[in-house]
Amino acid sequence: MASTTSPHILLIDSYDSFTHNLAALCRRAIPQCHVHIVKNDALSAQKLPAILPCFAAVIVGPGPGSPDIPEDIGVIRHLWNLPLSTILPIFGVCLGLQSLAIESGARLRRLDVVKHGQISRIHHDGTGLFKGVGEAHGVRYHSLHVELRGGGEVEQLAWADDGEENGSVVMAIKHKTKPFWAVQYHPESVCTSGGGLEVLRNFWRLAKNWHVLHERVVRPWKQDMRSIVGPSWPESRVHSVPEHHDSSSVTTTILHLPDLPVAEICELFAARDESSPFVLLESAAQPGRFSIIGCVDPDSLRIVYSVGDQHVRVTDSAGSRLEPLGSRDIWSWLASFMRHRKASNGSPDIPFWGGLVGYLGYELGVDSLAIPLPSRKSVSSRRHPDVNLIFVERSIVVDSHSDDVYVQSLKENDSEWLQATFSLLNSAWSASQELSTPRHLSAVFSTPPIVTLPDKALYKSRIEIAKEHLFAGDSYELCLTAHTHVVVQPRADPTSSSWTLYKHLRTRNPAPHSGYLRLHPTTLLSSSPERFLSYSRPPHTNCQLRPIKGTVRKAPGITRSVAEELLAGSTKEVAENLMIVDLIRHDLHGVVGDDVTVKQFCRVEEYETVWQLVSVIEGGSSRISGDSSDTTSGELGWEVLRRSLPPGSMTGAPKKRSVEILQGLEDDDRSVYSGVFGYWCVGGSGDWSVVIRSCFKYDDRSVAGEKANASAVPDAGTEEWTIGAGGAITALSDVDAEWDEMTVKLQSVLRTFEAAAV
């Protein structure tokens, strides 16, 4: 039978953020299957009779919203009443179960105590779907549940005992006469055990039996099906891009300079000169290792882009010009830019040889989710860059483990600069050896900063609204944030005030992903603890994501073991983190295919002002068949970045619906905050950090001036900085505790402004 040798499976996606995890599980459970993922609004009910005969089974995935809202459920509700001639085995997950149940006579209810990212014991009788399963624990992501009624068409197969919270809750059902099975928990979650792979394998066994019993023959696959249901997942990523050979060459000299401070090296270059661009990506704390200094100048090539533009602004020594995007988007434009600057002869011991450095703002990611940016319309003529990058040709990389300092240039015949820099660094090192007392950091501002905090009552009311969305089933977790505005009066000083402010920040809040990006019109100062994505040099690119969820303020008495109890020992904090781990797995699976693993789950890490719960997810390209072009061209990591923004830890899950809800709960574009900053090296590696615990300003201040309250509108000579801060809201959130958590994160940057005033 065609269905059992290499079956085609239709996976219907309700815009969930776990769908690729389910597809990956399906590929493990059903040998040699082809999984076709289709959105629930991409198929009409009329099309079903034509396409279903080609499939061996359908999987109905989870999703936000409610099975009785047509926009949330799309074509799914038509599956349950198919004519007998079209019927086929279907497996539903969560929203899928709820839809099957209500179309079969059950009642839909809200849970009294919702369960998001929580693990429950799944009780079952060990038969049918649960044959041979034994003890099962399932991760739950639901606000709604079903109550079966006597005489209905579905029967219960498994349940969870929620005690006084919700009583007994249906966890699995089957249709009494039709080949439909469904589970309420998520079999694809990383923390589901017993009820995951085993249950999907059982579904396939039951489905095959049903085919035999009913003599159903799956129609042979026709190529024109591809135009309706797309290719099977994961797509083999064959590029039409011609092979590019190296077009850049890196010249490197290495010095051994123990204890030469990174900030001092920066000051040998343009760091203190406000009129020049400057970039530093600094590992100012563990687990960071390398610091990257861009030795750039006003002639260095700059790339600036705002969402919605049909062009990219490119500025270099020849001036500024608009380059049309044509049929490309900004991502493929940048990929092509980098393809023409490939190099392979840098030092294998360091991650960066030269390349693009800068930031990608939050709204760039929102745009890639196909969500409109409403607030942009009113300020369209004065929008700030969503992409702001500089091409670094000369750089210095400091390895804090070995104390080696790498001086590098991508320019041809640049030995004069390399030699001069070599001498400059050597003399700076000799001078620093003689200087025994640490230098005092000078004040940056002549008056105390004027701070406009988010309105506490308003923020708290928004936490309540967020929770209402969670209770209704629209989202499982929402990362709510707000902007704080800080107006300051820099002292008359020839040294760039933002550079000195950065030195204060890195001293007070040293972080593994610190950074100083002076890319006019934007200046960004970061003390971020969070890596979003790093990808190693090809071939065989490995991608690593390190989401943080779960924060505890450092204070006397909060030792590591106390923090571990408060974070790793807390159902709420682990659930918060687990939801993002599952979301990131989905994002990564979406590009690299099957090869995704959770390397670290919910470990407590120590930072300067906070303890954080951190997980590590990795994936690579090595196992995608026919993937040679990607692994050698180095664009796999870039593709992961393109398809995974905004960072899941800054949105919540499911990502699309959560971002839409957050747009209605936040006043401003998040802008640079919540985006990523970092680099893409000419050798193909990259490392991008989440813009949190950071502040930024725009030279023209137009948006800030417009938004700030009247008393805070900056006078001439003043600067306005913005600090974003927030936190994940879950159904278990306490409103006051969430306000406090937001202010703890805010303080990690805000107190630097206070310290930097005279």
Ligand X SMILES: NC(=O)CC[C@H](N)C(=O)O
Positions marked catalytic: 94, 186, 188
Shorter beta-carbon distance to ligand X: residue 148 or 616: 148
Shorter beta-carbon distance to ligand X: residue 189 or 408: 189
Give 571's contacts (C-beta < 8 A, 6+ positions apart). 118, 732
Residues facing residue 487 across a β-bridge:
450, 720
Q: Which residues bind ligand ISJ (CB under 6 A)?
A: 479, 481, 530, 548-551, 649-650, 692-693, 724-728, 745
Shorter beta-carbon distance to ligand X: residue 102 or 265: 102
By CB under 6 A, which span of 63-71, 304-312, 346-354, 618-626 interacts with ligand X? 63-71
Element containing residue 255 per DSSP (H, E): strand 251-256
Q: From ligand ISJ, ligand X, none, which one binds at residue 550 (CB under 5 to 8 Å depending on kind)? A: ligand ISJ
Q: From ligand ISJ, ligand X, none, which one binds at residue 723 (CB under 5 to 8 Å depending on kind)? A: none
Answer whether 540's CB lies under 8 Å from 635's CB: no
Other Cβ atoms less than 10 A from the Cβ of 112: the count is 12
- Residue 263 C-beta: closest distance to ligand X, Å: 48
- Residue 58 C-beta: closest distance to ligand X, Å: 16
Structure tokens given for 369? 């989710």
Task: Return d(Cα 49, Cα 52) in angstroms, integer.
Answer: 6
Residue 471, burial from CB neighbour count under 10 angstroms (0-12, 13-18, 19+): middle
- Residue 62 C-beta: closest distance to ligand X, Å: 3
Task: Return d(Cα 399, Cα 42) in angstroms, integer.
Answer: 50
Shorter beta-carbon distance to ligand X: residue 69 or 217: 69
Largest CA-CA distance found in the chain, in angstroms, rounded:
89
Mark residues 425-464: x for contact with ligand X by CB under 6 A, - for none: ----------------------------------------
Shorter beta-carbon distance to ligand ISJ: residue 417 or 601: 601
- For 349-391, the three-class secondary structure string (H helix, E strand, C coil) is CCCCCCEEEEEECHHHHHHHCCCCCHHHHHHHHHCCCCEEEEE
Q: From ligand ISJ, ligand X, none, which one binds at residue 659 (CB under 5 to 8 Å depending on kind)? A: none
Residues 77-136 that bind ligand X (CB under 6 A): 94-95
How many residues sit close enough to ligand X to count as binding (CB under 6 A)? Answer: 11
Q: From ligand ISJ, ligand X, none, which one binds at residue 144 (CB under 5 to 8 Å depending on kind)? A: ligand X
Phi, psi for residue 687 in degrees, rounded to 5:
-155, 120
Shorter beta-carbon distance to ligand X: residue 94 or 101: 94
- Residue 647 C-beta: closest distance to ligand X, Å: 21
Collapsed DSSP state (helix, strand, coil) of residue 533: strand
- Residue 483 C-beta: closest distance to ligand ISJ, Å: 10
Shorter beta-carbon distance to ligand X: residue 141 or 696: 141
Answer whether 60's CB lies under 8 Å from 95's CB: yes
Q: From ligand ISJ, ligand X, none, which one binds at residue 549 (CB under 5 to 8 Å depending on kind)? A: ligand ISJ
Is the torsion defined by CA of 459, 547, 15, 477 positive or negative?
Answer: negative
By CB under 6 A, which span of 139-147, 289-297, 530-538, 570-578 interacts with ligand X? 139-147
Q: Does 63 engage in binding with ligand X (CB under 6 A)?
A: yes
Place of tokens 């490197």: 252
Residues facing residue 108 across a β-bridge:
146
DSSP 650-696: GTEESHHHHHHHHHHH-SS--TTTTSEEEEEETTS-EEEEE--SEEE
Q: From ligand X, ligand ISJ, none, which one binds at residue 727 (CB under 5 to 8 Å depending on kind)? A: ligand ISJ
Q: Does 535 engage in binding with ligand X (CB under 6 A)?
A: no
Q: Does 22 engage in binding with ligand X (CB under 6 A)?
A: no
Q: From ligand ISJ, ligand X, none, which one binds at residue 141 (CB under 5 to 8 Å depending on kind)? A: ligand X
- Residue 133 C-beta: closest distance to ligand X, Å: 21
Which of 62, 179, 361, 590 is in the footprint of ligand X by CB under 6 A? 62
Answer whether 612's CB lies under 8 Å from 690's CB: no
By CB under 6 A, which span of 24-32, 62-70, 418-426, 566-574 interacts with ligand X? 62-70
Q: From ligand ISJ, ligand X, none, which one binds at residue 185 (CB under 5 to 8 Å depending on kind)? A: none
Residue 261, burial from CB neighbour count under 10 angstroms (0-12, 13-18, 19+): middle
Which of 65, 385, 620, 683 is in the footprint of ligand X by CB under 6 A? 65
Give 386's contacts (C-beta < 8 A, 6+ positions apart). 305, 306, 307, 360, 361, 363, 364, 367, 675
Residues that bind ligand X (CB under 6 A): 62-65, 94-95, 141-144, 473
